[in-house]
Chains A and B, each alone.
Chain A
Amino acid sequence: MPHTLSLADIPIGASVRIAEILTPGNNRRRLLDLGLVPGARVEIIRRSPSGNPTAYLIKGAVIALRNENAAQIMVDTN
């Protein structure tokens, strides 16, 4: 079943699991290195005053991603 929800669609305060990363190339690697590996838990923490970027709690660190980048990270909500 293809994943339909991306990290950019999740409301503040929710916690999700990474399902699949669609980002290609070097940036994919950078996401993986940050701990965004399939199966990892991510909590959505806050948005910047202007709504973009958004901050996530990933393996104990708070990391901000621009929404268009987060939209390429597919998640499971369970």
Chain B
Amino acid sequence: MSTINNPGLSVLQEIEPLLPTNTANIKDRIVSSIYQQAESVSAQVVRSKNSQYTGLEARLDNILTSRWLGFPIMLLLLTLILWITITGANYPSQLLATGLFWLEEQLTALFLAVNAPVWLSGLLIQGMYRSLAWVVSVMLPPMAIFFPLFTLLEDLGYLPRVAFNMDKLFRRAGAHGKQCLTMCMGFGCNAAGVISCRIIDSPRERLIAILTNTFSICNGRFPTLIALSTIFMGTLVSQAYSSVLATLAVVAIIMTGIATTLLVSSLLSRTLFRGMPSFFVLELPPFRRPQLGQILIRSLLDRTLFVLWRAVVIAAPAGALTWILANSFVGGTSVFALIVGWLNPLGQLMGMDGIILIAFLLGLPANEIVLPILIMGYISAGSMLELDSLNALRILLLDHGWTWITALCVMLFSLLHFPCGTTLYTIFKETRSARWTLLSALLPLLLGIVVTLLINQGAQIIMR
């Protein structure tokens, strides 16, 4: 119910205290009346034989929310979805890369043929086109697999069961049970996750959910995690199991993200947003046979293309900017190299290096382009390289002194750094507050710096 706080309402304000205060009673009577009449209409219209929640429905819930199986099933489904995504995306990714880089050669030839200036073809092809090609070939296949699978779970009615199972943890963290659903959405895209926080009515808990959404690894970060974990974790075992181990490493990072969400939520609800956990109502809708055709169409149009388009729009200028930075020189050194030099000491402390940090900084507009920028920095050819296989990437990274610690720190920093530009903008729109937006960027960033520092320093001590 709203209160009167508009100056134009002064008359009402004076009179309000004189009014009877038991509006609760009035509301009760109104709602009861409505329900009575709904009941009487329904009684004349509906004939039913049996109770509503029986049979298959109840038996499925018995399993999915069971004491012993509830949590393992959730973990298993998550792993399964990721595994299908990782293994399934491999081949189409390569195919796309081959096609797009073939097109690049044709474009370069065309530019040569018309005698275009070198800087123009550099900016357009090596800067913009290549970053686009990267984003499309690296992101599109996993998204085209991940989103339909996720939508399938959603359409089946499984996600509310996850919230039902997990609620106690969120309650303990002083957060809302539905935060779990907004987290799930964040796995697709954090900006969408932040918007979905609207399903949380209480402002306090909604803000907590918004500020912690970035700890759900989004689709733009999955490719980086998948690539790095395939390179550094996957090769620890034989070929046959490498995708399994890579999947498990990604699952571990996701679980770390969930744990961080709970920890930070709990911290926030004990400090900045003190208050009682609010009222929580969750409907467990009936399980319904999913509409496969609709799922494919809608997840492709609404989600895949939506996210891809955003990435493309952002990757093009970011690619151009990177190219410009790498090709403008101050006293013989490129601007890119200069910034890398400044960032290097901090990067080293955090188990990474200057190039990795600049890749995250330039990747602010979209997480998808972090890896491409990173590669470009290493090759220092002034543009993003075509890497036809993960093995080439592995050699490149090893050449630049990467160890499993570097990979671990990069993966953790990918989990724990500022949200992407779109997400920040969305947070600003949803909270209408520059302060909360700033906090939403600084909080994970500080956490990321501290965590990678500790891990790196700890590892150095152990290795010594």
**Chain A residues near B (Cβ < 8 Å):** 21, 23-35, 37-40, 43, 45-46, 48-53, 55, 57, 60-66, 69
Contacts and interface: CB of A to CB of B under 8 A. Distances in A.
Contacts of A37: 28, 31-32, 35
B281 A30 contact: yes
B283 interface: yes
B70 interface: yes
Decide if the interface of chain A is mainly helix, strand, loop or mixed.
Answer: mixed
A50 B65 CA distance: 10
Interface stretch (B162-170, B241-249, B250-258): B162-170
A68 to B, nearest CB: 8
B163 to A, nearest CB: 8
B32 A48 contact: no
Given A37-B35, A57-B53, A64 B164 contact: yes
B67 A49 contact: yes
A61 B27 CA distance: 23
B71 interface: yes
Contacts of B66: 49
Nearest to A29: B27
Contacts, number: 100
B167 A30 contact: no
* 7 pairs of A and B residues whose beta carbons are closest in the complex: A50-B168, A32-B31, A49-B70, A27-B279, A62-B284, A64-B282, A49-B67
Nearest to B24: A28
Nearest to B57: A62
B280 A65 contact: yes
B67 A32 contact: no
Nearest to A39: B32
Contacts of B177: 53, 64, 66
A66 B167 contact: yes
A53 B167 contact: yes
B11 interface: no
Nearest to A26: B1
B61 interface: yes
B52 interface: yes
Given A26-B1, A37-B32, A40-B35, A63 B281 contact: yes
Contacts of B286: 62
Contact of B31 (A25, A29, A57, A69): A29
A53 B282 contact: yes
Contacts of B282: 53, 63-64
Contacts of A61: 283, 285
B283 A63 contact: yes
Contacts of B24: 24-25, 28
Given A57-B53, A62-B283, A69-B279, A51 B31 contact: no
Given A49-B165, A50-B168, A69 B280 contact: yes
Interface centre among A25, A31, A43, A64 (most CB of B within 10 A): A64
A24 B425 CA distance: 36
